[in-house]
């Protein structure tokens, strides 16, 4: 006897493998971001688990990687993968000061990747 997988379950299983390469069905992640995600997945799980969010900020699309822990800066990337600034984290918790308004001014949050491994 052959068991048939329900179409919805099959679609969810197939789409789960694409979570790190697409924002939506029509919008792919930039190659540099896919590489960053693979790099993060090869590291130990952060606590809390790492994620990357897409925002609109100062009229541009940006990607935010929060600080992993303690005295480590967050990174804010432009669409080409260049680090614009470090909005928060570091010894003071306030980042590098180059985009001090980011956390208050960012809009249209979309989490594009969340570490599926969860907390350690």
- Render the chain in DSSP notation, one character per residue: -PPPPPHHHHHHHHHHTTTTTBSSSS-BPPHHHHHHHHHHHHSPPPSSPPEEEEEEETTEEEEEE---STTPBPEEE-TTS-EEE--SBSSSSBTTSTTTTHHHH-EEEEEEEE-TT---
Regions of the chain where pLDDT drops below 70 = 1-27, 120
pTM for this prediction: 0.76
Task: Tell me the pLDDT tens digit for each residue of 12-25.
Answer: 333 334 344 444 44
């Amino acid at each position: 006897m052959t068991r048939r997988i329900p179409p919805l379950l099959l679609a969810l299983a197939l789409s789960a493998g694409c979570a790190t390469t697409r924002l939506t069905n029509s919008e792919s992640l930039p190659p540099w971001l896919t590489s960053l995600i693979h790099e993060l997945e090869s590291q130990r799980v952060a606590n809390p688990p790492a994620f990357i969010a897409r925002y609109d900020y100062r009229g541009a699309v940006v990607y935010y990687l929060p600080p992993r822990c303690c005295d480590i800066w967050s990174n804010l990337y432009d669409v080409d993968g260049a680090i614009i600034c470090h909005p928060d984290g570091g010894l003071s918790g306030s980042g590098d000061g180059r985009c001090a308004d980011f956390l208050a001014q960012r809009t249209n949050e979309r989490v594009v990747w969340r570490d599926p491994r969860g907390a350690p």
